[in-house]
Homo-oligomer: A and B are copies of this chain.
Amino acid sequence: MSAPRWLSPAEQRAWRTHLALHKLLMHRLDRELQEHALSVNDYEILVNLSESPDRRLRMSDLADATIQSRSRLSHQISRMEAKGLVVREDCRDDRRGTFAVLTDEGWQTIQRVAPDHVSSVREHFIDRLTDDQLKLLDDAYEPIVEHLKKLR
């Protein structure tokens, strides 16, 4: 048991700034998506499905892609089914499998909402960083993402 290595003031500041930035940003993006009756989590599911072949993903792959538990995703998909944005489909040939499938309404929704959402992401995040800062951010975080993915 060695003594804890507490964070230095600079480390503490960077850590708290990271946490605050993320929470405030998600809160803001959620609020702007509410005008379209969506949450950030809904939007992320729509994006993942819209970029997949046949606009469908196995639930386990969608849980991996959106970094959440199967049970949490299942609740989320039920809420989105109720709104007509997605449907579940069982795959008879594959015991592993229920799929989440984007409906036409879900597809039209992401087409309609995407311009506003990208404008929010620009206004509150991307356009407030220089190209150099964006590159430094990506260079700093990308290896950590790889590290954390290996632990899952």
A23's nearest neighbour on chain B, judged by CB, is B67
Contact between B15 and A144 (Cβ–Cβ < 8 Å)? no
- Give bound CA distance, A141 to B18, whole Å: 7
A123's nearest neighbour on chain B, judged by CB, is B147
Tell me if A91 is interfacial: C-beta within 8 Å of chain B. Answer: no
Instruction: Take A10-B135, A23-B67 as given contacts and tell me if A129 and B118 are in contact as well, using a CB distance cutoff of 8 Å.
Output: no
Contact between B144 and A5 (Cβ–Cβ < 8 Å)? no
Residues of B contacting A18 with CB < 8 Å?
22, 125, 137, 141
Task: List the one stretch of A24-32, A52-60, A75-83, A96-104 in contact with chain B.
Answer: A24-32
8 Å CB interface, A1-19 against B: 4-7, 10-11, 13-15, 17-18
Residues of B contacting A37 with CB < 8 Å?
none
Instruction: Take A11-B134, A14-B135, A126-B7 as given contacts and tell me if A148 and B25 are in contact as well, using a CB distance cutoff of 8 Å.
Output: yes
Query: What residues make up the interface of A, taking CB atoms closer than 8 Å to B?
Result: 4-7, 10-11, 13-15, 17-18, 20-25, 27-28, 66-68, 114-115, 118-119, 121-122, 124-126, 128-129, 131, 133-138, 140-145, 147-149, 151-152
20 contacts between A and B (CB under 8 A): A5-B119, A7-B118, A14-B135, A14-B137, A14-B138, A15-B126, A20-B67, A21-B141, A21-B144, A21-B145, A23-B68, A24-B67, A24-B148, A24-B152, A25-B144, A124-B148, A128-B143, A133-B136, A136-B140, A137-B140
